[in-house]
């Protein structure tokens, strides 16, 4: 089993929308992938409530059978659509993938 965790800091005003609007859209888009990409075993998207400057705005927690499943997910056209939205609204991104 492989766990894939990604965190983003989101730009305010990106794509002509405020940060909250973009975060909500991002969450909806990411969560919708569960029904579209069979390689996703679990997915959870959290919106930060911590006001620290060190905090990130959005976290994605997802689980895959193995590294091949993660790679298939990353190349899937539905994931690519989400990435095309998320890229321009993000100012920072960090990721951790680990096997359990």
Domain extents in the chain: 2-99
pLDDT digits (tens, 9 = 90+) for 11-54: 999 999 999 999 999 999 999 999 999 999 999 999 999 999 99
For every residue of 31-51, DSSP letters joined together read HHGGGT-TTEEEEEEEE----
Phi and psi angles of residue 5, each rounded to the nearest 5 degrees, phi first = -120, 130
> What is the pTM assigned to this prediction?
0.94
- 2-99 classified as CATH 3.40.50.10860: no
Q: Closest by alpha carbon to 28, among 73, 85, 72?
A: 85
* Mean pLDDT score across all residues of the chain: 97
């Amino acid at each position: 089993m492989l766990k894939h965790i990604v965190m983003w800091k989101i730009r305010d005003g990106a794509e002509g929308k405020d940060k909250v609007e973009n975060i909500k859209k991002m969450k909806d888009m990411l969560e919708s992938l569960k029904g579209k990409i069979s390689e996703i075993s679990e997915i959870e998207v959290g919106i930060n409530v911590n006001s620290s400057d060190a905090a990130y705005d959005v976290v994605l927690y997802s689980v895959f059978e193995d590294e091949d499943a993660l790679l298939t997910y990353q190349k899937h056209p539905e994931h690519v659509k989400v990435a095309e939205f998320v890229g321009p609204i993000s100012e920072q991104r960090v990721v951790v993938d680990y096997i359990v």
